[in-house]
Amino acid sequence: MELRVFFIFLFFVVIFAQYLNDKNTLSSMKRIFLTVGAILAGICLVEAQNCTYYFPVKVGASLVTKHYNDKDKLTSTTKSKVTEQTGNKVKFKAESYDSKDKLLSSGDYEVRCENNEFVMDMNSYFNTDAYKNMEVKVDSKAMSIPSSLNAGQKLNDGEINVTISNPGMNMIISTKITNRKVEALEEITTPAGKYKCAKITYDIETKMGMVIKTKGVEWISQKVGIVRSESYDQKGKLMSYSVLSSFSE
């Protein structure tokens, strides 16, 4: 943030100095605009460099994640691919397949860096494809991950509220992710390779006519993303897990 303020201050200093030196010439104005462009580019570059992405940033990078139940049986597969990287935003396409490799859903999502933190919109936790013929309203609170993580560090909560409307039906689905905490910094091995990760735990509460409470664990790696995740019931019994099976840039 201090560097951003410095560049903005420099921006005004340069404009004023060049204006005083030659305020009546067209060439002076051209130099001003070129300098302004360079400084603004510097601001964006500094912000990007100060932020740590917990997701691939290279266009074309792809990930395949396998999802299993508590009996180690494959239930589904998610294939993600980075489609665009502009400034502090990374867009990607995610496709979900069932255990027989039949396409279930497909969607476009976005992650970004904001105030030197990696931000994940909760919208990506809800698939609207299943409600194409209905009116869907989504309201969410994004989760973020600071560039520097330490064991014991607490992270912000996330929330998503979905209202689904159809003639004769009105349903509200609410999911809250709370008590996010960095439990440890450790290295884990997956079929895609070894990764240095932050182990993050959290609580999940979903309301959809009834309240369902579960607990989650994620191992997340810089410029890769989630390499493993586990879901537990309130009694601590494993319900399901996911593992990164392949990753390429």
CA distance 218 to 200: 5
d(CA 167, CA 143) in angstroms, rounded, equals 33
- Position of tokens 């607990």? 215
Residue 78: CB atoms within 10 A of its CB come to 18
Any idea which residue has 């070894």 for tokens?
A: 194
Pairing of strands 143-146, 117-120: antiparallel
Q: Using an 8 Å Cβ cutoff, are 177 and 203 in contact?
A: yes
For residue 157, the SS3 value is coil
pLDDT of residue 164: 85
- How crowded is residue 61: how many other Cβ atoms within 10 Å of its Cβ? 21
**SS3 per-residue string spanning 213-232:** EEEEEEEEECCCEEEEEEEE
- What is the Cα gyration radius of the chain? 22
Domain boundaries 62-248, corresponding CATH code: 2.40.360.20
- Tokens representing 227? 């390499």
d(CA 201, CA 216): 6
Alpha-carbon distance of 37 to 242, in angstroms, equals 44
Which sequence spans correspond to the domains of the chain? 2-50, 62-248
* DSSP symbols for 13-74: HHHHHHHHH-TT-HHHHHHHHHHHHHHHHHHHHHHHHHPPPSS--STT-EEEEEEEETTS-E
Distance CA 124, CA 12 (A): 39
pLDDT below 70 — which residues of the chain?
A: 1-50, 122-132
Burial zone of 206 (CB within 10 Å; 0-12 exposed, 13-18 middle, 19+ buried): middle
Q: What is the pLDDT of residue 20?
A: 44
Torsion of CA 153, 138, 171, 133, to 10 degrees: -140
Cα of first residue to Cα of last residue in the chain, in angstroms, is 30
The pLDDT value recorded for residue 82 is: 96
Is residue 233 within 8 A of residue 203, CB to CB? The reply is: no
